[in-house]
Amino acid sequence: MEKELGRSTYVLQDEEGKGRVQIADDVVAVIAGMAATEVKGVSAMAGNITNEIMAKAGRKNLSKGVKISVNKNKVKISLAIMMEYGYNIPGTCSKVQDKVKTAVESMTGLIVTDIDIRISGVDMQKDKRS
């Protein structure tokens, strides 16, 4: 049973006698971003100009490059990633989608319906395969 409490907080579980479990959409975004960067071939998450300014100021935004939309118990995720040079883009993106779906669903109980990926660039300086 999921109820929207505000713009960014959702009830995942509400049991009488136990209380309720709430999750912020930023938490889902952090889980998705961290899972995506664990895939070989993903150099980093790509952010917008605000994220870049915050990073230069010393604030690390763990949800950088991730947008989510939660409706009831279903979530749509959009990722912007930087690829490492030399990796197959479709293959790597498929692995990212699998990894993010598994991580978000197992940690939150939400159902991931879509994971859209935008390749923001290719990192030519890193070649971690060797």
Average pLDDT score over residue span 35-56: 72
The predicted structure's pLDDT at residue 61: 60
What per-residue string of b and e applies to 89-104 under the rule 16 or more CB within 10 Å gives b? eeebbebbbebbbebb
Number of domains in the chain: 1
pLDDT digits (tens, 9 = 90+) for 84-118: 999 999 999 999 999 999 999 999 999 999 999 99
Q: Does any domain span residue 5?
A: no
pLDDT surpasses 80 at 122: yes
Minimal CA–CA distance to 45: which of 21, 78, 12, 74?
78
- What number of other Cβ atoms are within 10 A of residue 120's Cβ? 16
Furthest CA-CA distance within the chain = 55
Domain of residue 44: give its range: 25-123
pLDDT digits (tens, 9 = 90+) for 5-21: 445 777 777 777 788 88
Q: Give pTM, 2 decimals.
A: 0.78
Q: Does any domain span residue 14?
A: no
Q: Does any domain span residue 15?
A: no
Residue 34's CATH number: 3.30.70.1350
